[in-house]
Amino acid sequence: MDNAENTSITRLLSDLREVSGGWQTADYWVDDLCAIGLTSEARPQHLVYVNTSGLVRGRFYVELEVGSTKGYVGGQVVATHESLTFSELIALVRVHLGLLH
Protein backbone atom coordinates (compact mmCIF):
# COMPACT_ATOMS: atom_id res chain seq x y z
CA MET A 1 0.00 0.00 0.00
CA ASP A 2 1.46 3.37 -0.91
CA ASN A 3 1.62 6.44 1.29
CA ALA A 4 -1.31 8.11 -0.51
CA GLU A 5 -3.56 5.21 0.47
CA ASN A 6 -2.25 5.26 4.05
CA THR A 7 -3.25 8.91 4.47
CA SER A 8 -6.52 8.92 2.51
CA ILE A 9 -8.73 7.92 5.45
CA THR A 10 -6.85 10.24 7.80
CA ARG A 11 -7.55 13.10 5.38
CA LEU A 12 -11.21 12.04 5.12
CA LEU A 13 -11.58 11.98 8.92
CA SER A 14 -10.07 15.45 9.13
CA ASP A 15 -12.51 16.72 6.49
CA LEU A 16 -15.44 15.07 8.30
CA ARG A 17 -14.54 16.86 11.54
CA GLU A 18 -14.88 20.19 9.70
CA VAL A 19 -18.47 19.35 8.73
CA SER A 20 -20.95 19.32 11.59
CA GLY A 21 -22.80 16.08 11.11
CA GLY A 22 -23.77 14.14 14.24
CA TRP A 23 -22.16 10.89 13.06
CA GLN A 24 -19.61 8.72 14.81
CA THR A 25 -16.79 6.73 13.27
CA ALA A 26 -16.74 2.95 13.54
CA ASP A 27 -13.37 1.42 12.73
CA TYR A 28 -14.30 -2.24 12.32
CA TRP A 29 -11.60 -2.68 9.67
CA VAL A 30 -8.46 -2.02 11.76
CA ASP A 31 -6.25 -3.89 9.29
CA ASP A 32 -7.61 -1.91 6.33
CA LEU A 33 -6.06 1.54 6.42
CA CYS A 34 -8.31 2.69 3.57
CA ALA A 35 -11.68 1.94 5.19
CA ILE A 36 -13.87 3.48 7.88
CA GLY A 37 -17.50 3.22 8.94
CA LEU A 38 -19.91 5.95 9.95
CA THR A 39 -22.88 5.45 12.28
CA SER A 40 -25.35 7.60 14.21
CA GLU A 41 -27.53 7.51 17.29
CA ALA A 42 -30.51 8.43 15.12
CA ARG A 43 -30.30 5.14 13.19
CA PRO A 44 -27.99 2.81 15.11
CA GLN A 45 -28.59 -0.15 12.79
CA HIS A 46 -27.50 1.80 9.73
CA LEU A 47 -23.87 1.92 8.65
CA VAL A 48 -22.00 3.78 5.93
CA TYR A 49 -18.84 1.93 4.85
CA VAL A 50 -16.30 4.18 3.12
CA ASN A 51 -13.19 2.96 1.29
CA THR A 52 -10.56 4.95 -0.60
CA SER A 53 -8.32 2.16 -1.89
CA GLY A 54 -7.36 2.57 -5.52
CA LEU A 55 -9.35 5.77 -6.00
CA VAL A 56 -8.04 9.19 -6.92
CA ARG A 57 -7.77 11.70 -4.10
CA GLY A 58 -11.15 13.06 -3.06
CA ARG A 59 -13.16 10.09 -4.37
CA PHE A 60 -14.85 7.47 -2.21
CA TYR A 61 -16.33 3.99 -2.60
CA VAL A 62 -19.41 3.72 -0.35
CA GLU A 63 -21.70 0.93 0.80
CA LEU A 64 -24.90 1.69 2.69
CA GLU A 65 -25.93 -1.05 5.11
CA VAL A 66 -29.01 -1.70 7.23
CA GLY A 67 -29.33 -4.23 10.01
CA SER A 68 -25.83 -3.70 11.43
CA THR A 69 -25.41 -3.94 15.17
CA LYS A 70 -22.92 -2.04 17.29
CA GLY A 71 -19.57 -3.78 17.26
CA TYR A 72 -20.55 -6.07 14.40
CA VAL A 73 -20.70 -5.44 10.71
CA GLY A 74 -23.08 -7.79 9.01
CA GLY A 75 -25.95 -5.77 7.78
CA GLN A 76 -27.47 -5.99 4.34
CA VAL A 77 -25.88 -3.79 1.70
CA VAL A 78 -28.73 -1.76 0.20
CA ALA A 79 -26.68 0.48 -2.09
CA THR A 80 -23.15 0.87 -3.42
CA HIS A 81 -21.52 3.90 -4.98
CA GLU A 82 -18.23 3.60 -6.85
CA SER A 83 -16.65 7.07 -6.95
CA LEU A 84 -18.39 9.75 -4.91
CA THR A 85 -17.12 13.25 -4.26
CA PHE A 86 -16.89 14.47 -0.67
CA SER A 87 -20.09 16.52 -0.96
CA GLU A 88 -21.95 13.53 -2.45
CA LEU A 89 -20.64 11.36 0.39
CA ILE A 90 -21.85 13.84 3.03
CA ALA A 91 -25.30 14.04 1.42
CA LEU A 92 -25.65 10.23 1.41
CA VAL A 93 -24.40 9.95 5.01
CA ARG A 94 -26.93 12.49 6.24
CA VAL A 95 -29.84 10.74 4.52
CA HIS A 96 -28.84 7.16 5.37
CA LEU A 97 -28.03 7.91 9.00
CA GLY A 98 -31.13 10.07 9.57
CA LEU A 99 -29.22 13.29 10.16
CA LEU A 100 -31.22 15.71 8.06
CA HIS A 101 -32.03 18.91 9.89
Domain assignments of the chain as residue spans, ordered by start: 3-96
Q: How far apart are CA 96 and CA 65, in angstroms?
A: 9
Of residues 29 and 51, more confidence is placed in 51
Name the pLDDT band for 62 (thresholds 50, 70, 90).
very high
Which residue pairs, CB below 8 angstroms and at least 24 apart, start in 79-87?
83/55, 83/59, 84/59, 84/60, 85/58, 85/59, 85/60, 86/12, 86/15, 86/58, 86/60
Instruction: Check residue 3 and give its pLDDT.
Output: 47
